Structure 1
Amino acid sequence: MFVLELGLIGLCIALLPLSWVWVKADDNKFRKLVWITTFMTLDLVMFGGFTRLTDSGLGCPDWPGCYGTSSPFIAHAQIAAANALMPTGPVSLTKAWIEMIHRYFAMAIGVLIIAQTAIAWRARIKRLPLHVSPWWPTALLGLIVVQGIFGAWTVTMKLQPIIVTTHLMLGLTLLGTLGWLAARITPLPAYEPEAGRWRVAALAALALLVFQIALGGWVSTNYAVLACTDFPTCNGAWIPPMDFHHGFHLWRALGMDANGDVITQDALVAIHWTHRTFALVVVAYLAWFALKLRRFESLRRPANGVLIVILIQFLTGLSNIVLQWPLANAVAHNGGAAILLLFVVMLNFRIACSRPGRAVIPARDTAPA
């Protein structure tokens, strides 16, 4: 019964953007729906970072509800009892609400993607112009199901770092795929065939960024942000003592090493130092890449976006260390990585389309309402 209640909550949240898309004067409501789903997914990724950074991942220690109910209101007695047994533990009313709000919005995005899938297949059956295969939203629907499974494992496996990191990366995969789909059904600027020569460089930029985000996720899920307390050195040394074997052993419990012992400081330093050092490579490459692409009119805006977000990421990453990991700053750093991913995905899409014979989507077209 409470699962049905959860579904209704997700549906009610999704009805707000669905209603907004419906009443807006737009000739392609499907396009608007994809864009607003992309924006909400970005918000969800950032709120997921907030959930993790506030230690709210186990605010409700079961899944998908909270102590077998649809709301912390209903589970208030169980939450109070758990908090009384362990006042500094993972369960409190505030953390429970943070965790459940994250789940509610994840369900709402699932509803929006179901709506996309239904619209796309209706357009295919009725031969309506939609400029996108229905298999795109269908694949997104499959992806969000897998993401939900990892969300459940995140709770049931007690925040195991590899599960939480995979959950994060799947969320960013969903965001990036939605961004690609949104770009695919949006009219493009004038084509510049010479931009097509940068396809390999664009793919390299995406690969480097994804790997760096995964390293950042590993830092966050292992709570290794303050393993190095100074900059540019790490604990007073350019190459401090590090334990890469235990730091990057993937299958282990939170706070433990591969042998079941408490993870050492040297292992946490290895995690932090690797993310920090590889960031220099990624920043240098992305800055060079974006500066080179600014000469193309069709790529200038996303390239400028990359340059701006790189600067913000450097400043927020540095201040995480100097200011001892303030919450708002840490959430901004997580969100910056997601926004940077969107810009790089957009650049990859536009470069991939910079070739002769690519069908152009008209600026105004007809799509199912």
Structure 2
Amino acid sequence: MKPSIRRFRAVTGIAIVATFVLIVLGAVIRATNSGLSCPDWPHCYGFWVPTPAKLATVPGIDYTFTQVMYEWVHRFIAGIIVGPLTLILAIWALVMRRENLRPALFGIAALALLLVQGLLGGLTVLDRNSPWSVAVHLSNAQLVLAMLIGMYVSAGRPAQSALVWTEPVARGARLAVFAVALLALSTIAAGAMMAKNGASLACSTWPLCDGAVVPPLDDPLIALHFTHRVLAGVTALAILGLFLWARRTRRRAPGFARDMHRTIGLVALQVGVGAAVIFLQVPVWTAATHQGMGVLVLASLVVTLLHLAFGPGTAVPRGRPEPAAGQAMPARGA
């Protein structure tokens, strides 16, 4: 792999990690009720950088300095790290488009989604952190993350990238993985709606909901909580189905099996963390870990989907191929 591609992938990796931290910090903000600790946007109480001394001049603040810092650091990472890095990567990918067009396409999509994300962030604040705006904001953030992952994976051609495997897999696998990824995204969004509505403990036991397989759904909070559990269960079963499919094809497609082994392992951890959220009465660290694990499951599915998309026959080489040993170069008219 060329040094320039390695550098591009290294910077993209930094952007991916920063975006993941940003999403997990969003869960911390929800768990600590810090979502409106900076009530204006893009400033925070009229300041670009709030300090204890500056905040002391503002009357009637109902939040601690720590809560304000959670929200401000979230904005800082988004505006000073993720935003500029995504812009740089998109421009960088456009410069390299003659060698490989795919990172440029992912870069343009990431940049467009990031602009939408900034608008959604402002809307979330102006809409007083309504549950629907929080869920949409979180969902779009994960789409940004998916595009950054797409840039990273597609930057290396299949033969050069340690991530990309090229064994033939049934065409239906792409559609199946895509559908399950959408299901995982919906589950995470429903979890954000549940948490923001204060329904995290509407079902106080696990795996049953207060001793019932299907609880009475006349209470909106119980209905919201139970919907999230149903989506999570269906997602887990769908991933299990993909895992079993990959196991059956592991001899001719070991890469698909490796990807699904990783994903099913993350799902097992996520189930344990989800149970801990209930058993431990939603401490901040479990809420943040639960969301972080959910994002990792989705990211793993995205990587698998990219591997399927960039499998055999999908590479776009530039220039004439080198002949194999003992093989003549084909004529121009061949």
Does the 8 Å CA contact 1:287/1:306 hold for their aligned counterparts?
Answer: no
Say yes or no: does 1:172 pair with 2:142. yes
Whether 1:289 and 2:242 are equivalent positions in the alignment is yes
Aligned match of 2:131 in 153, 158, 161?
A: 161
Asked if 1:98 corresponds to 2:70, the answer is yes
Aligned residue identity for 1:219 = M
Report whether the alignment pairs 1:268 with 2:238: no
TM normalised by structure 1 equals 0.77
CA shift, 1:336, in A, is 0.5
Q: CA RMSD in A?
A: 2.1
CA–CA separation in structure 1 for the residues paired with 2:317 and 2:234: 36
**Aligned twin of 2:93:** 120
| 8 A contact 1:195–1:351 mirrored in 2 | no
Structure 1 counterpart of 2:282, one-letter code:
W
Among 231, 243, 246, the alignment partner of 2:206 is: 231
Corresponding residue for residue 250 of structure 1 = none
- SS of the aligned residue for 2:26 comes to helix
Q: Distance in 1 between matches of 2:109 and 2:179?
A: 24
Shift of residue 153 of structure 1? 1.3
Residue 319 (structure 1) aligned with residue 276 (structure 2): yes
CA distance in 1, matches of 2:206, 2:28: 25
Contact 1:206/1:344 (8 A) holds in 2: yes
Identical counterparts, % of pairs: 30
Residue equivalent to 1:143: 113
Letter in 1 for 2:56: A
Q: Deviations over 1:230-286 (max 9, x none)?
A: 12322233332223xxxxxxxxxxxxxxxxxxxxxx110000011112322211110
Change (3 A) 1:236 1:193: closer
TM-score (norm 2): 0.85
Q: 2:299 is matched with which residue?
A: 342
**Equivalent residue of 1:193, what SS?**
coil
Q: Deviations over 1:12-54 (max 9, x none)?
A: xxxxxxxxxxxxx765322222222112111111111111211
Residue 269 to residue 196, structure 1, CA distance change in 2 (3 Å): same
1:60 aligns with 2:38: yes
Question: In the TM superposition, what is the alpha-carbon distance from 1:301 to its structure 2 partner?
Answer: 3.1
- Note the residue ranges of structure 2 that are not aligned, 5 or more in a row: 159-163, 319-334
Give the Cα–Cα distance (whole angstroms) in 1 for the partners of residues 222 and 110 of structure 2.
Answer: 37
Quick check: 1:51 aligned with 2:24? no
Q: How many residues align?
A: 305
- Residue in 2 that maps onto 1:253: none
Structure 2 residue identity aligned to 1:166? V
Is the CA contact 1:67–1:78 (under 8 Å) kept in the aligned structure 2?
A: no
**Match for 2:107: what amino acid?**
P
CA-CA distance at 1:143 after TM superposition = 1.0
In structure 2, relative to structure 1, the CA distance for the partners of 1:305 and 1:133 (3 Å cut) is closer
Equivalent in the alignment of 2:261: 304
The Cα offsets for residues 56-94 of structure 1, whole Å up to 9 and x where unpaired, read as: 111111111111111121632245x323xxxxx4x2211
| Partner of residue 132, structure 1 | 102
d(CA) in 2 for partners of 1:213, 1:46: 12
Q: Decide whether the 8 Å contact of 2:38 with 2:72 is kept in 1.
A: yes
Gaps of 5+ in 1: 1-24, 84-88, 244-265, 362-369
**Counterpart mapping for 1:164-243 below 5 A:** 164-188=134-158, 189-243=164-218
